[in-house]
Amino acid sequence: MATLPNLFRLTVLAVLLAFLVQPAWFEPLLKPLVQENAPAVYNQGSLFWLTVLHLRTVFVATVAATIVAVSLAIIVTRKAGAEFLPLSRSLVNIGQTFPPVAVLALAVPIYGFGEKPTLIALFLYGLLPIFENALTGLTTLPPTVMEAARGAGMTGRQRLFRIELPLALPVILTGIRLSVVISLATATIGSTVAARTLGEVIIAGLQSNNLAFVLQGGLIVGALAVLIHDALQGLERAFAGRAHI
């Protein structure tokens, strides 16, 4: 039998999908939030495809940030790369030092309007949590396991891919989860530079003083964040259980 939290997640998912596919069904609920004759449901594009494009932007930026951040963590946890730890920390902190709006302002003159400046901002903003968690995961491995791997004659590469990364994976996934949740919300500002995200809905609502539009954009992003957060948290638990077998 599904637990109450699981039933809640399934309900949120079902309502979200229904709203994205048939938003007109929810018009009576949203009508009291708008002025007379104003549209209650976003009508300047497909909410479904805006959501798909929003998720695609977050996915691409997160994959890129994961590859770079985990690679840096691997390098600085090797004996030959330990001296680069301070430099690596400085690099991944750039995204947290500069607000995403500032990154967009700097990237638009170089790359133009569209998705690219948003990807750069999300990439930089997502590096720190993934890097720090990967670093923690790789530096807190059980010494007995590492000694056993060396005693079995494993090479450094074999230890990394067969022992270190699998054991550190739950902690790395925690960093990815944090990065994704941050990026889901931050991606909305990409619409200020013509990126196709759910920020379009919020901006349209602000420009027309339409509270229903603002609410729709915010609730969709919030629902996505809750569902993806829980899904990644479930993956963490699954891999953590495998790591302890």
Query: CB within 8 A of 218, min separation 6: which ones?
Result: 202
Beta carbons within 10 angstroms of residue 151's beta carbon: 8
Helix (H, G, I), strand (E, B) or coil at 12: helix
- Which CA distances in Å does 223 have to 1, 26, 59, 220? 24, 16, 16, 5
- Which CA distances in Å does 115 have to 99, 133, 191, 194, 212? 17, 28, 9, 7, 26
Q: Which pTM was predicted?
A: 0.89
pLDDT of the chain, 245 residues: tens digit per residue: 345 477 888 888 999 999 999 988 888 888 888 887 888 888 888 899 999 999 999 999 999 999 999 999 999 988 888 888 888 888 888 877 878 888 888 888 888 888 899 999 999 999 999 999 999 999 888 888 878 878 887 787 888 888 888 989 999 999 999 999 999 989 999 888 888 999 999 999 888 888 999 999 999 999 999 999 988 888 888 887 665 54
Domain boundaries along the sequence of the chain: 46-243
Nearest residue to 30 via CA among 188, 213, 195, 161: 213
CA torsion sign, 241 to 151 to 156 to 131? positive
pLDDT of 164: 87
d(CA 238, CA 108): 41
pLDDT of 244: 54
Largest alpha-carbon pair distance within the chain?
76
For the structural domain made of 46-243, what CATH number should be given?
A: 1.10.3720.10
Return the structure tokens found at 86: 């301070």
Return the structure tokens found at 40: 């209650």
